[in-house]
Amino acid sequence: MPVREAVAAAHPNIALIKYWGDRDHALRVPSNGSISLTLSGLKTQTRVGFDPDLDQDQLTINQVPAEPAALQRVGRHLDLIRERAGIRAGAFVQSVTDFPMGAGLASSAAAFASLTLAGCAAAGLELGRQELSALARRGSGSAARSIYGGFVELVAGAGDDDSFARPLAEPERWSIVDLIVLTDVRPKSTGSTAGHSSAQTSPLQAARVSDTPRRLQACREAVLATDFERLAEVVEQDSNMMHAVMMTSSPPLHYWQPSSLAVMAQVRSLRAQGVAVCYTVDAGPNVHCLCLPEAESRVRGGLAHLSLEFGILRAVPGPGAWLV
């Protein structure tokens, strides 16, 4: 078999309604459904080549050989692709990301969405988007959503086959701007995978999960009606509920930092003055400030009053993963 290569790229996504905790940890079947926005402006590009002469997989991230744990996680994902394609060749994987990794900016979503698409293409597997999404989920839960563009819903099914993402609205539907305030870009000490497995230890998790259908419905309606006020309310509540679970888990996880709280307070104050902005925070200290395009300069003006060390990234609704 000759060497077969493919290159794919994907954007990360920001969860508007968040997934936290797994129904099946090994299969990454989420305990609750989620809705996200795929973020153009940040990107991971991944090259995968299957080479029969390689007896071990190789992985570089931004041109540097990866740590054993990352190589192992990618190797397990490649095994799923190899099993389906009926091939045994080792693979080389080169992944290049243009934003900080492991800092709660969903780098694993962009990484595993692009790895899944490139890996399947290199292995000669022709999968539909739904199958690609379910497969990407096995690498990283949120990666299932980055297969699609725009507003995306990840359905929490009963098991592996029925837990995949589906598009909710095209990127053009609503030009929301995401100003990502970087409060700390160092890799976080507890990653999402460990966090998902301890979610159930919080007495608040059961209440959060059982209330999810209500939040999902409010978010779907807000997106489809492009109703920012409604979106803001449910997005902030959902983020706060997830962090309440994190903080009350054993061991407790505190991702917010004083600077994160300062940004959230500023966003709330701007909204009270009529500015269309809201915040949401993933598993890290950085704060996503979602706003309408006409509010962007006022939001930037408000944030300029805070002494921010690391700057602001800008993202807008973007497309799903694509072959390069």
Considering only 60, 190, 193, 201, the residue that binds ligand DP6 (CB under 6 A) is 193
> Helix or strand or coil: residue 108?
helix
Which of 39, 67, 51 shows the shortest CA–CA distance to 6?
Answer: 51
CA dist 266 → 176, 277, 279, 303 (Å) = 19, 10, 10, 7
Residues 284-313 that bind ligand DP6 (CB under 6 A): none
Examine residue 9 and tell whether it contacts ligand DP6 (CB under 6 A).
Answer: no
Residue 181 phi/psi, 5-degree rounding, is -85, 115
CB nearer to ligand DP6: give 35 or 121: 35
Which of 140, 116, 138 shows the shortest CA–CA distance to 127?
Answer: 116
- Alpha-carbon distance of 232 to 221, in angstroms, equals 12
Examine residue 142 and tell whether it contacts ligand DP6 (CB under 6 A).
Answer: yes
Examine residue 19 and tell whether it contacts ligand DP6 (CB under 6 A).
Answer: yes
Query: To the nearest 5 percent, what fractions of the chain are helix, strand and coil?
Result: 40, 25, 35
Which among 105-113, 157-165, 181-189, 226-234 is the span making contact with ligand DP6, rule CB under 6 A? 105-113
Considering only 136, 199, 219, 283, the residue that binds ligand DP6 (CB under 6 A) is 283
For the CB of residue 147, give the shortest distance to ligand DP6 in the complex, in Å: 13
Examine residue 15 and tell whether it contacts ligand DP6 (CB under 6 A).
Answer: yes
Which among 14-22, 94-102, 211-219, 260-268 is the span making contact with ligand DP6, rule CB under 6 A? 14-22
For the CB of residue 150, give the shortest distance to ligand DP6 in the complex, in Å: 16
Residue 171-190 contact track with ligand DP6, rule CB under 6 A, x = bound: --------------------
- Alpha-carbon distance of 148 to 168, in angstroms, equals 9
**Residue type present at position 198:** S
Which among 81-89, 136-144, 176-184, 219-227 is the span making contact with ligand DP6, rule CB under 6 A? 136-144
Examine residue 34 and tell whether it contacts ligand DP6 (CB under 6 A).
Answer: yes
Continuous H helices in the chain: 68-85, 107-122, 129-139, 143-146, 192-198, 205-210, 212-224, 228-247, 258-272, 296-304
Examine residue 215 and tell whether it contacts ligand DP6 (CB under 6 A).
Answer: no
Binding site for ligand DP6 (CB under 6 A): 15, 18-20, 28, 34, 106, 108-109, 140-142, 192-193, 196, 282-283
